[in-house]
């Protein structure tokens, strides 16, 4: 199995565990299919196998809000994250209904508030909808389902992006490459953790 495929499977397993009802048996079965080649994920130009075309289009929009393109890397869609999520749902059946219900929740709320689906809204309206579900520590009770879905989608997007070729390159991960020197942890990383070498 290629490294990229193994990373995807590891990411899928960690995400599947976040959904109540997802069983170890399902994960074992998905792993076996990937290992024997019958479930090897193909992400480039993937035709969705779980999502409808409209759902897939909405997933594209949502993941690019979570990880947009910047000066260093492309967006989540550029890293084939929607295809990763569709693959994940195809492998783990118990995740499909919560994910699709979450998308339906977003569509219903967009229709009630603006009279259109998410992808037909302008960017300001999309942001207004996402602001109601993007902060799990501060939300109205009636938005609970949307908050839970978006929290899962955020994790799925991050897992898909950082296990992709683009995400690995963004991290600067060089794998098992020999290096002649070790200069220690970068100062900015230490500062982020609130540490300094004299404290260790």
For residues 82, 88, 89 and 95, what is the CA-based torsion angle, rounded to 10 degrees? -120
The residues spanned by each domain of the chain are 3-199
Task: Using alpha carbons, select from 183, 166, 157 the residue that is nearest to residue 79.
Answer: 166
Residue percentage of the chain with pLDDT more than 70: 76
Q: What are the tens digits of pLDDT across the range 4-21?
A: 555 555 555 555 555 555
90 or 128: which carries more pLDDT confidence?
128
Q: What are the tens digits of pLDDT across the range 30-83?
A: 555 555 554 445 677 788 889 999 999 999 999 999 999 999 899 999 999 999
Q: How far is CA 113 from CA 110, 117, 174, 191, 197, in A?
A: 5, 10, 47, 43, 53
Enter the tokens of residue 87: 């693959």
Q: What is the pLDDT of residue 198?
A: 73
Q: How far is CA 123 from CA 26, 127, 129, in A?
A: 38, 6, 10
Q: What is the pLDDT of residue 186?
A: 84
Mean pLDDT of 108-132: 95
pLDDT band for 188, please (50, 70, 90 cuts): confident
Residue 66 near residue 162 (C-beta atoms within 8 A): no
Q: What is the pLDDT of residue 40?
A: 47
Q: What is the pLDDT of residue 176?
A: 64
pTM of the predicted model as reported, rounded to 2 decimal places: 0.72
Mean pLDDT of 178-198: 82
Q: What is the pLDDT of residue 7?
A: 53
Task: Using alpha carbons, select from 53, 52, 130, 42 the residue that is nearest to residue 80.
Answer: 42
Mean pLDDT of 184-192: 85
């Amino acid at each position: 199995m290629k490294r990229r495929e193994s990373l995807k499977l590891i990411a899928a397993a960690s995400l599947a565990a976040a959904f109540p009802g997802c069983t170890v048996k399902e994960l074992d079965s998905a792993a076996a299919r990937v290992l024997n080649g019958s479930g090897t994920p193909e992400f480039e130009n993937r035709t969705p196998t779980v999502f409808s075309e409209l759902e897939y289009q909405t997933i594209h929009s949502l993941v690019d809000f979570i990880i947009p393109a910047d000066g260093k890397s492309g967006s989540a869609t550029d890293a084939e994250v929607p295809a990763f999520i569709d693959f994940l749902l195809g492998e783990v059946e118990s995740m499909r209904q919560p994910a699709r219900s979450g998308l339906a929740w977003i569509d219903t709320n967009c229709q009630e508030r603006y009279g259109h689906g998410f992808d037909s809204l302008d960017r300001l309206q999309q942001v207004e909808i996402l602001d109601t579900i993007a902060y799990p520590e501060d939300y109205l009770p009636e938005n609970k389902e949307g908050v839970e879905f978006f929290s899962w989608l955020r994790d799925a997007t991050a897992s898909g992006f950082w296990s992709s070729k683009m995400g690995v390159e963004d991290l600067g991960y060089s794998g098992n490459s020999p290096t002649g020197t070790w200069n220690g942890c970068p100062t900015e990383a230490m500062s982020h953790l609130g540490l300094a070498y004299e404290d260790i």
